[in-house]
Chain A
Amino acid sequence: MIASFRRTLLPFFLLSLVSIGGLFFALIDASIRREDERKRVDEKRALVSLLPSAELFFSSSARWLRHPSLSEPMAPFADTPSGFDVDPAGALQPPLSLHREIRPKVQPE
């Protein structure tokens, strides 16, 4: 009985332990990191006030990817007016609140 348990169930038992342990590790590590971040968040917001905007820094090699909302009003379309937008501030479906806001503006006079 014990031999057959070792042969068949032990690997599963170990695998389940590793996978469930992995999930627990992820949950605990995530909550520790969130707590750390919570301590920094006020300082980070103060830092935002020293910056042009709260836009994140992902790339500085293309001018329209840094503070795109403030730098250039037509930035996404400046280079290829009819081209595919490389960093679109749009989605296939706008959020419902935006829908409601846009509708009156696009109605013909």
Chain B
Amino acid sequence: MKRFLSLLAFALASLIRRKRRSLSLGFGLLLIAFLLSAALLLHDSIRAEYERLIPGMAELSVHQLRGGRPERIAGDALKELESHPGVRSITPRVWGYLYLPPLSANLTVMAKNGDPALPTILDGTLPDNEGELTIGDRIAHSLGLRPGDSIALPGAAGFQLFTVRGVFTSDSSLLAGDLALFTEKDARSLLGYDDELYTDLAIALSAPSEANAIAARIEKLLPGARIVERSAIERAYALSFGQRAGFLAALLLPILGSFLLIAWDRLSGSSDEERYEAGVLLISGWEFRDILTFRILESSALSGIAAALGISLAYLYLFIFDAPLLADLLLGWSSLHPTFKLTPMLHGSQLLMLVAILVLPFTAISILPAFRSANVDADALLRGGR
């Protein structure tokens, strides 16, 4: 143990002696650790976010299509299915988008179809009467609205005046940042739906595993309908973000590779000096094994510290400073942008994996130069043959 500690102290002292080399290699590794872990942590958080939320959604959504384009659907189009034991409820929904010129953005206009209690994510209440609305935090922020304020919205039949009853907090921004919730009558008049038709039907099932069977029944009842299964949306999301984060990681891996190449070059390029040092150590009684351990300790200490700092900085950047630039790169820019509040999914095992990805290759590439430098003829060195 004492021997190991002495070797460690010597390895650290050696890193300080070659301050410039240690700093440049350490900084390079820190930067790569930062970029790679930021991309992976961000992807994990977004994936966990929608995986947490998907169970809140109805298992099936049914839309009417005509000529491949979406049409609205009658509220009782699937009346026959209501008595089906696998179907818990069929909710006809009215929703659409409303372009708001002052924001250059689309709002999601939705008619309220339930009255859940939302004490922590809603400041105020849901709309109960006509002329009331509840909005997402980004709309409220962009227009400077608070519960009790009034707003005129450009509906299908001209401007309509509404009172803000509630504002969703920024904790729910990724879901409801652009949401404007109305009573059904108001939603219809804003969107210009002056008939009895609905945007779609949301079908909640008693057992999600029956989704395929019920979808097949719906296909027979409504041949022109488009049935979107919840699992399909989940899969589409997994693929879409997996691909984006994968592209980012794929861009970063060659950078890691070229860094390792440069590190290899630097480590083996200074072998003359290292060979001389190794020769002196051999003469003063060190064993070949000690020199190898010393080199491994030297490079793993450097890469370990750089990787740990890089990962910690990535965490601060993502979850304390809300990831400027990277979020735009991954999510795209918009005039109405969500408050970027993600929940970190960092676990010990993930941390170990990240450290291993960064430390192991760096330590591995330092072994061969160490072999070469330790394999010197001490006798020739004594005679001045460097």
Known A-B contacts A51-B110, A57-B175; the reply to A88 vs B105 at CB < 8 A is no
CA distance A13 to B9 in the complex (A): 11
Does A106 belong to the interface (CB within 8 Å)? no
B114 CB to closest chain A CB, in angstroms? 6
Contact status A54-B233, CB under 8 Å: yes
A32 to chain B, nearest CB (A): 10
What's the least CB distance linking B371 to chain A, in Å? 25
Decide if B243 is an interface residue (CB 8 Å cutoff).
yes
Contact B13 A67 (CB under 8 A): no
Picked from A9, A36, A59, the residue with its CB within 8 Å of the CB of B332 is: A59
Contact between A69 and B174, CB atoms less than 8 A apart: no
**Within the complex, which residue of B63, B116, B238, B311 is in contact with A23, where a contact is CB–CB below 8 Å?**
B311
A56 proximal to B (CB < 8 A)? yes
Judged by DSSP, the binding face of A is: helix
Interface residues of A in 2-40 (CB under 8 A from B): 7-9, 11-12, 15-16, 18-20, 22-23, 25-27, 29-30, 33-34, 36-37, 39-40
Q: Are A19's CB and B110's CB within 8 A?
A: no
Contact of A43 among B15, B121, B337 (CB under 8 A): B121
Which residues of B lie under 8 Å from residue A52 when comparing CB positions? 61, 93, 95, 108, 110, 199-200
B301 to chain A, nearest CB (A): 7
Q: Is the CB of A47 within 8 A of B308?
A: no
Chain A residues within 8 Å of chain B by Cβ, number: 64
Question: Contact at A61–B110, with CB atoms within 8 Å?
Answer: no
Residue ID in chain B nearest A19 by CB atoms: B308
Which residues in A have their C-beta under 8 angstroms from that of B242? 91
Answer yes or no: A108 CB below 8 A from chain B CBs.
no
Which of B9, B106, B228 sits near A69, CB closer than 8 Å? B228
Residue of A whose beta carbon sits closest to that of B354 = A23
Within residues 90 to 107 of chain B, which ones have a CB less than 8 A from any CB in chain A?
A: 93, 95, 97, 104-107
A11, closest chain B residue (CB): B16
Output the least CB separation between B218 and chain A (Å): 15
- Judging by beta carbons under 8 Å apart, are B13 and A8 in contact? yes
CA distance A62 to B46 in the complex (A): 20
User: How many residues of chain B get a CB closer than 8 Å to chain A's CBs?
Assistant: 94
Q: Is the CB of B351 within 8 A of A50?
A: no
Given contacts A26-B311, A60-B107, A63-B97, contact A49 B240 (CB under 8 A): no
> A46 vs B204: C-alpha distance in the bound complex, in angstroms?
13
Binds A, one of B79-87, B262-270, B342-350: B342-350
Cβ-closest chain A residue relative to B235 = A98
B108 contacts A61, CB within 8 Å? no
- CB pair A27 B57 closer than 8 Å: no
Instruction: List B contacts of A19 (CB < 8 A).
Output: 304-305, 308-309, 312
A66 touches B106 (CB 8 A): yes
User: When chains A and B are docked, how far (Å) is the Cα of A29 from the Cα of B13?
Assistant: 34
Q: Which positions 114-145 of chain B face chain A at CB distance < 8 Å? A: 114, 116-121, 126, 136, 138
Q: Is B315 on the interface with A (CB-CB < 8 A)?
A: yes
Chain A residues near B304 (CB, 8 Å)? Answer: 19
Q: Which single member of B13, B176, B344 contacts A9 (CB below 8 Å)?
A: B13
Whether the Cβ atoms of A51 and B334 lie closer than 8 Å is no
A92 cross-chain contacts in B, Cβ below 8 A? 243, 246
B190 close to A (CB within 8 Å):
no
Enumerate chain B residues within 8 angstroms of A36, measured Cβ to Cβ: 343
> With the chains together, A91 CA to B168 CA distance in Å?
34
User: How many Å from the CB of A35 to the closest CB on chain B?
Assistant: 10
* Given A27-B346, A50-B114, A73-B70, A58 and B334 contact (CB-CB distance below 8 Å): yes
Which residues between 39 and 89 of chain A lie within 8 Å of chain B, taking CB atoms?
Answer: 39-41, 43-63, 65-74, 87-89
Contact partners of B316 in chain A: CB under 8 A: 22
Query: Do B200 and A70 have beta carbons less than 8 Å apart?
Result: yes
Interface: B239 (CB within 8 A): yes
**Within 8 Å CB of A46, what residues of B?**
56, 114, 116-118
Q: Which residues of A contact B (CB under 8 A)?
A: 7-9, 11-12, 15-16, 18-20, 22-23, 25-27, 29-30, 33-34, 36-37, 39-41, 43-63, 65-74, 87-92, 94-95, 98
Closest 10 CB pairs of A and B: A22-B312, A45-B56, A48-B56, A19-B308, A59-B334, A46-B116, A89-B236, A30-B344, A26-B315, A30-B346
Known contacts A23-B308, A46-B118; 14 further A-B pairs (Cβ under 8 A): A19-B304, A22-B308, A33-B344, A43-B116, A44-B121, A44-B175, A47-B116, A52-B110, A54-B57, A54-B230, A55-B233, A56-B46, A68-B236, A95-B235
